[in-house]
Amino acid sequence: MPFNRPEDFINPLFLANSHLQTVVPNLFRIGFGVRYIRQRIDTLDGDFLDLDWSRVGSKKLMVFSHGLENSSKAPYVVGMVKYFNKRGWDALAWNFRSCSGEMNRAIGFYHPGQTDDFQLVLDQALDAGYEQIALVGFSLGGAITLRYLGEKGGRVHDKIKAAAVFSVPTDLEACARHLSTGTQSLYGKGFLYFYRRKMLMKEKLNPGRYDLTKWDGIQNMMDFDAAFNVDWYGFRDLSHFYGATSSQPLLPRIQIPTLIVNAENDPFLPEDCYPVNEAGANPYLHLEVPEMGGHVGFVTLSWRGVFWSEARAEDFFASLNL
């Protein structure tokens, strides 16, 4: 279906612009009320993934994928897990490689095309015997979710019923270029800080494994991808990396009900990351573009501490009788 602009999201007046709407909820929202039980699983290449479960004894499970350089402890993940636990859903929030608090073993960290890791997570969910599974992704986690669903097409397991994703960079090249210029490049530089710190940690554990001199030429996210991700994962060049990991080309192949919510004022997303045409051509895709919300923000004033994105996800899944 074509995109629509939700009328029920009212942004608080004190969050006057996209940067406040992005930064405030991610820095100042307190993540509590969820007690995870961790499970570690092995990957096919000798690495590991850490999965965090929050169970309430349900036959329904929601699988959460966090954003770039975040984890299962991100406030927006914890808030959504808590919200759906209270509504009778078990939750599984997985951590990308290097994001769980312990450095991963492989030479690289993670990238948005690693749907094989996501499949390992979903295999655990399916093996647990749930009757219904829904997927929720945020930012990069939303991109992984969409790409996985596009790759699978009509072969998605019949227990996986629907997906809802928020603040998704569907076109990775356009997003990386966007985060490399203007005021939004400050966000990109923040990610580079965390990448560099992780690489120094990995180099300390495995001396001589990394060419740290490459950092001398890295000024933005695209430089990092060109210097490291292309080589780590065996891509021909930067264009090949972005083309082979973006979700946008695969959106026409998605065949389960999927909600995409990208705020119009999201400082991370350029115009190319609003898949209006793809949503208009695929009846399974529901694109919503609130005027406000920032990046993974969607704050509303609620005495219960509920954010609009949590209520919107519930309404979407309820409309499907989940």
- The pLDDT score that the predictor gives to residue 143 is 97
| 284 in the same domain as 235 | no
Q: Look at residue 173 and tell me whether its pLDDT is greater than 90.
A: yes
| 45 in the same domain as 185 | no
Cβ neighbours of residue 320 under 8 Å, at least 6 residues apart? 161, 162, 257
Give tens-digit pLDDT for 217-230. 899 999 999 999 99
Give tens-digit pLDDT for 256-306. 999 999 999 999 999 999 999 999 999 999 999 999 999 999 988 764 668
Split into its structural domains, the chain has a count of: 2
DSSP, res 250: G
Q: Which is it for the CA torsion 224, 228, 232, 233, positive or negative?
A: positive
pTM above 0.85, yes or no: yes
Name the residue range of residue 210's domain. Answer: 172-245
Confidence band for 7, pLDDT divided at 50, 70 and 90: low
Give tens-digit pLDDT for 20-37. 888 887 776 766 779 999
Where among 245, 270, 293 does a domain terminate?
245
Say how far apart CA 175 and CA 33 lie, in whole Å.
34
Say how far apart CA 116 and CA 43 lie, in whole Å.
9
**Domain for residue 151, yes or no?**
yes
| 267 in the same domain as 129 | yes
Give tens-digit pLDDT for 174-229. 999 999 888 889 999 999 999 999 999 999 988 988 999 999 989 999 999 999 99
Where among 245, 269, 294 does a domain terminate?
245
**Domain for residue 9, yes or no?**
no
- The pLDDT score that the predictor gives to residue 13 is 66
| 274 in the same domain as 129 | yes
| 241 in the same domain as 186 | yes
**Domain for residue 193, yes or no?**
yes
| 107 in the same domain as 53 | yes
- The pLDDT score that the predictor gives to residue 248 is 96
